[in-house]
Amino acid sequence: MSSEPAIRCTGIGKAFQLYAHQNDQLKQILFGLWKKFYKEKWVLHDMTFTVEKGERVGIIGRNGAGKTTLLQIICGITMPTKGEFKVQGRIAPILALGSGFDGLLTGRENARIGAAILGLSKKEVDARIEDIAAFADVGPFFEQPMRTYSMGMIARVAFAICAHADANVLIVDEALSVGDQIFQHKCERYIEDFAHNGTILMVSHDLDFLEKLCDRVLWLENGVVKEIGEPARIIADYRAAMDAEENQATGA
Ligand SMILES: Nc1ncnc2c1ncn2[C@@H]1O[C@H](COP(=O)(O)OP(=O)(O)OP(=O)(O)O)[C@@H](O)[C@H]1O
């Protein structure tokens, strides 16, 4: 087994292109060689960190800090503007997978496609599809088009596929927040179980769960790593910063 980390990010930066007017995008395509018709919005800056094989790393930070964007880069959904990243092993991107579902296809059809995208052969998909259905536990909706699903039901199917994909790197973006309590606990048990053998990189606002699960926590602020290290310490610092800001805002 190679001693390379499961995830290595080196100098990752991400800028989105913001267009002031709708037709600026067309102008950019036609005349972009001569003039820039967009403003760059940098949301990640020079992010360098590694996640070792078998490590559980949580990512925390305020809304808009760049957590989802970072996970999307690591999952290959969006490209970094600067820097490089490398992932060793098979990724299961929980929730990100759900955003690729086709609303016209049934849960079963999307689950088959999703599992294949994650690398399962047709034979493996055939063997696991009923287990995926049972894990998702959306009842007869599994045979209905996914446009009829609630957010929580979409998350259930996405999570179920990832849980059966033989992945060794689990990327979780707030997957638990949209599920009901029963499903949340089922996912938590699955994640805790997965943590015995696999690598986990997980974004969550559930600080208690991250503190219990993770070996390290990364605090992302305005697109930079503010702190990374021992969960209890980082989470205490983060809570103190949030409390101080809230007190300032409310004049308490
Ligand atoms: N496609 C896009 N185009 C322009 N800006 C974007 C795009 N996607 C995200 N952003 C911006 O990037 C920043 C980081 O967003 P991101 O979703 O990564 O934050 P986050 O930390 O996951 O937030 P939250 O906790 O609210 O989920 C935000 O300012 C957001 O508005």
Judge if the beta carbon of residue 9 lies within 6 A of ligand 1.
no
pLDDT by residue for the chain (252 residues), tens only, comes to: 567 999 999 999 999 988 888 888 888 888 888 888 888 899 999 999 999 999 999 999 999 999 999 999 998 889 999 999 999 998 988 866 667 899 999 999 999 999 998 889 999 999 999 999 999 999 999 999 999 999 889 989 999 999 999 899 999 887 667 778 888 888 888 888 898 889 999 999 899 999 999 999 999 999 999 999 999 999 999 999 999 988 888 876
Ligand 1 atom, smallest distance to 69 CA: 18
End-to-end CA distance of the chain: 55
- What domains are there in the chain, each with its CATH number? 54-250 (3.40.50.300)
Question: Is 39's C-beta closer than 6 angstroms to any atom of ligand 1?
Answer: no
The three-point CA angle 96-100-104 to 5° equals 145
- Burial class (CB within 10 angstroms; exposed 0-12, middle 13-18, buried 19+) of 249: exposed
Q: Is the CB of 61 under 6 A from ligand 1?
A: yes
Read off the pLDDT of residues 112-131 as tens digits, 9 standing for 90 and up: 999 998 889 999 999 999 99
ipTM of the complex: 0.96
| Residue ID of nearest Cα to ligand 1 atom 4 | 16
Pick the atom of ligand 1 nearest to 223's CA.
14
Q: Is 66 in the pocket of ligand 1 (CB under 6 A)?
A: yes
